[in-house]
Amino acid sequence: MNPVICLASISPRRRELLAQIGVAHIVVGADIDEAVLPDEGPRAYVIRLAREKALAIRRTGQQLPVLAADTTVVVDGKIFGKPRDRAQGIDMLGELAGRTHEVLTAVALAGSFGVSERLSASTVRFRKITPAECAAYWETGEPRDKAGGYAIQGFGAVFVESLSGSYSAVMGLPLFETGELLQAAGIQCWNSASPSRERA
């Protein structure tokens, strides 16, 4: 089936989630500066990044509507992005251990109709995690490219004591909000049973 949108992300998780709801797509990765602006709050931050990713791909001349998302983990108002190295990754997991944190995922859709966005907020509680477990988890390789330094759909699931909100949003693409954006743009879900195509 012909693609109906362009996904501005090379994340395999987001591709899987789009495929789950039957939306045929191509993939074009968006490369933007993800630095937090002065006095920018976590919610404004993720919404801005999702919008900027979608608009960056549209500006390249992409004709298909562009879907983009951004996820961040927040503890005490502090933004936890992707860990830059082993030490930070282990520190992040240590800070999340035995506590509740917020996962914010913004999704944006840009096209000839303009750009719209939605925000999903979920609450995740971790069990206590020993320093040895933090180190062992880092060595799996899983935390390296994940906001907050863990993957709920992977090995990191063993740390999750409870989740209130959207599982797909914690993975990286809130399907309820994505469906709302697509429906508003006249794009139907469940129309594709064939694999999406990736473009370099």
* Angle in degrees, 0-180, between the axes of helices 131-139 and 86-96, rounded to the nearest 10: 130
- Among 48, 50, 166, CA closest to 108: 50
Query: Which residue of the set 70, 85, 91, 145 is catalytic?
Result: 70
DSSP 77: T
What is the C-alpha to C-alpha distance for residues 200 and 189, in angstroms, rounded to an integer? 25
- Among 99, 12, 113, CA closest to 58: 113
User: Is the CB of residue 1 less than 8 Å from the CB of residue 191?
Assistant: yes
Query: How many residues are listed for the chain in this entry?
Result: 200
> 70 catalytic, yes or no?
yes
- Would you please indicate which residues are annotated as catalytic (active-site) residues? 70
